[in-house]
Every structure is written in structure tokens, then in C-alpha cells.
Amino acid sequence: MILILSENADPKGRDYTLLMEALHGLPGIQVKVHRIEGELRAVTEVYLIGDTKPLVIEEMQALPCVERVVRVSEEYRILGRHRDDSRPSHFEYQGLRFGQDTLHVFAGLCAVDTPEHVEQMCRALRDNGQVCTRMGAYKPRTSPYSFQGHGRACLDYVFDIAGKHGIRVIAMEVTHESHVDEIREALRRTGSPTGAMLQIGTRNTQNFELLKAVGRQQEFPVLIKRGFGITLDESLNAAEYMASEGNSRIVFGLRGMKTNMGDPHRNFVDFAHVPVVKRLTRMPVCIDPSHSVGTRARAPEGILDVMHATAQAVIAGANMVLVDFHPDPPTALVDGAQALLLSELPLFLEDVAIARDAYQRRAAAARRHAGD
């Protein structure tokens, strides 16, 4: 059960103390308080964990400071959509709204290689009106003998260049809790106005210790990728691990699954799950067409497979697109084969816009028919 406290509830006030006394007196119930700092206002949510079935909603609602009570099912209790659940399905970061009703493209480098390429990438983004990007510094690789990313060494120039080109958020994978500190320090050191969205890759979806670490901090929002060999339910529970530690500014990312089909793509594109995740949880949903599709194959009408997959996700309501570009794919150190060219950025963005427009027309048609 979740109690959402009224906005002016004061942790040092008498009402708050009375509330806590009442809650701690409930037999067999564990009490966890989360303060979620929004850009406009802070919200305090109190989680009651244990057998909450005997608790009466009306009685809980009558406790001091309590504005609203949500009875949650066992699963995804923080992030899930529950009956009569009016908690928001969006958050703000760096002046941008990330929600189930918005769309942001994060085009960028899968793996940072040189300052020149970062510069070229950021300039192309600015020229096309983009304020978000992806930049890979820490790269988990299957073999210990493959290039593992420049790591901390590239952070300063990445944030520096991005900041100069008006980039407001960089999505960046972390594979160890120490990386979060390194990113925080680089941002401070460079004074870059850019922010970071921490990315948990598919190999770490069930690295619970890492999830707890990024869940304990609230400075950066987190993009968690679905695990490629586990069920959707298990991946959503992984997101819940972070939320249970206090950070619920989470975007859920689809990136293709491994299957037994000898898939013609690098992975089995799972973007039909975009509306499913939006139905089950309140998280915005990101897709990664580059790692899903994995090639530059072109369909008969001249459209790249990566664009087809992106359009499929966007027409079904995707909220964020993480996509690999590279100024010179053949020299890319990681996954060059799947990167788009900078010259393809305008077509890619136009393609996304057509699909987004179609999504909005579909939603309008659905509302109109519902009103018939």
C-alpha cells in the first residue's frame, strides 16, 4: 500500500510525527519513506510493506498528512499502474519532460572514440534541432580482450563538447557504481550544463547490487534496458529494484531479445511490447533500434531496417529512441556495422516525425470512436 502525503507535509511537523507513530504501530508492517524531488515540487510517498490486506483504505486516508492512498498488487508496487492509480507517468529532468506522452530521440555514438567524432556528432545534432544524445564510455564486451571503452578518460571532453552544442541530456551506460561518481565529478569539473541519464545495459538487468546503487542516488534518472534472456516480468521487477531504493525517475528500454529463430536481425525486435509496458507500468518506454536490428540492410522501398523498426515503435507510442550514428562507421570501435551516417540524420528524424504524427492521429481516432 502506498500513502501519498500532502504537499505541505513537514517531516519535522507534529502531524508527520503522529502519522509515523500510527504507521509504526501497525503489526507486521514495514514502513519506507521516499521523498521524490521533482523540478516543481517534492512528493513524499510512504510504502507499507507486508500483509496490508487488513488495512482499511478509508482509515488510512484519515491519517494526518495523507492525501491519497493506493492499494497496490504485489508486483511493481511503485512503478506499476494500479486500479485508481493517478500517480504521474512522467518526470522532469534538465527542463525536459520524460513521460508516456512525450518523444525524445537520443542519437549518438555507441562508443566514444575520438573528440573529433564527438564534435562532429554534436554539431550534426544541433544543426538538426536535437538536445539529447547517447555517448558510450563504459562498454561491457563479451570477450575480455575486446575494446572496453575509454571510460573515465573521455568524460571531460564528452561533457565539454556536448555542453557547447546545447546538448541537455546524455544517455551513458554504467557498469559499476563507481562510474556514477566519475560522471558526477566530470560534470562538476567541466562545469558543463549538460546532464546525464544513467543507462543499465542488458547484461546488468539483474545485477541487483548495481540497481540498488543507482536507485539510492536521485541526481540522475536511469534508463534500464530489458534483459535479453529473461521474461518481461523479471525485467520490470529489476526496474522496481531501483524504485524501491528511492529513485523512480526511470525509463524502461526495449532492445531486442535473443531467440531460437536464427533471426534475420541481430536480435528479435520486441517493439510490440511498447504498449504492453505502458499498460503495466507508469514508465516512459525507450527503444534501441540499432542493437535490435543490428545491420544497415535496406528494404525494397529504400528504407533501412533500422528506420522501419523505429517507425514501428513510434506508431505504437514509444517515448524515447536510442540510436547509433557515427561520422565514419568503418572506423567505429564498437558495432560500426549498425550505425547510421550523419547524412542520414535528417531522413531519420523526418521518418520519426511521420510515425509520431500517425500515432497521434490513431490516438485521436480511438478517442473519437470511444466517444461515439
Distance of closest approach, residue 78 Cβ to a copy of itself, in angstroms: 9
Candidates 111-119, 162-170, 188-196, 343-351 — which segment interacts with a copy of itself by CB under 8 A? Answer: 343-351
Q: Which residue has the cell 540497481?
A: 211
Size of the site for a copy of itself (CB under 8 A): 90
Nearest distance, CB of residue 358 and a copy of itself, angstroms: 4
| Contact assessment for residue 50 and residue 29, using Cβ atoms and an 8 Å cutoff | yes
User: Per CB under 8 A, which of residues 2..41 are in contact with a copy of itself?
Assistant: none
Cβ–Cβ < 8 Å for 196, 220? yes
Contact call for residues 194 and 173 (beta carbons, < 8 A): no
Instruction: Report which of 75, 366, 52 is spatially closest to residue 239, judged by C-alpha positions.
Output: 75
88: contact with a copy of itself by CB under 8 A: no
Radius of gyration of the chain from Cα atoms?
22
The reply to whether 203 sits near a copy of itself by the rule CB under 8 A is yes
Q: Is residue 365 a contact residue for a copy of itself (CB under 8 A)?
A: yes
User: Judged by CB under 8 A, which stretch of 111-119, 127-135, 182-190, 291-299 contacts a copy of itself?
Assistant: 291-299
Binding of residue 209 to a copy of itself (CB under 8 A): yes
CA distance 276 to 81: 12
Q: Beta-carbon neighbour count of residue 262 at 10 Å?
A: 5
Q: Which of 240, 288, 324, 335 binds a copy of itself (CB under 8 A)?
A: 240
Q: Which stretch binds a copy of itself (CB under 8 A): 35-43, 158-166, 328-336, 346-354?
A: 346-354
CB 337 within 8 Å of CB 305: no
Q: How far is the CB of 164 from a copy of itself (least distance, A)?
A: 29
| Nearest residue to 185 (alpha-carbon basis) of 210, 219, 138 | 219
Collapsing DSSP states into helix, strand and coil, what is residue 46? strand
The residues near 362 (Cβ < 8 Å, ≥ 6 apart) are 315
Residue 293 found at the interface with a copy of itself (CB under 8 A): yes
**Residue 271 lies near a copy of itself (rule: CB under 8 A):** yes
Site string for a copy of itself, 147-186 (x = CB under 8 A): ----------------------------xx----------
Asked whether position 107 contacts a copy of itself by CB under 8 A, the answer is no
- Return d(Cα 353, Cα 172) in angstroms, integer: 25
Task: With contacts defined by CB under 8 A, name the span among 125-133, 191-199, 307-315, 329-337 that binds a copy of itself.
Answer: 307-315
User: According to the binding rule CB under 8 A, does residue 337 interact with a copy of itself?
Assistant: no
Burial group, residue 352, by CB count within 10 angstroms (0-12, 13-18, 19+): buried
Return the SS3 of 210.
helix
The verdict on 98 binding a copy of itself (CB under 8 A) reads: no
Question: Does residue 269 belong to the site contacting a copy of itself (CB under 8 A)?
Answer: yes
State which of residues 25, 84, 143, 191 lies at the interface with a copy of itself (CB under 8 A): 143
CB of 163 to a copy of itself, least distance (A): 28
The interface region with a copy of itself, picked from 125-133, 156-164, 206-214, 328-336 by CB under 8 A, is 206-214
All residues at 6 or more sequence positions from 142 whose CB lies less than 8 Å from its CB, including other chains:
none
| Shortest reach from residue 70's CB to a copy of itself, in Å | 16
The yes or no reply on residue 217 touching a copy of itself (CB under 8 A) is: no
Contact, 139 vs 166, CB < 8 A? no
Cell of 320: 524515447
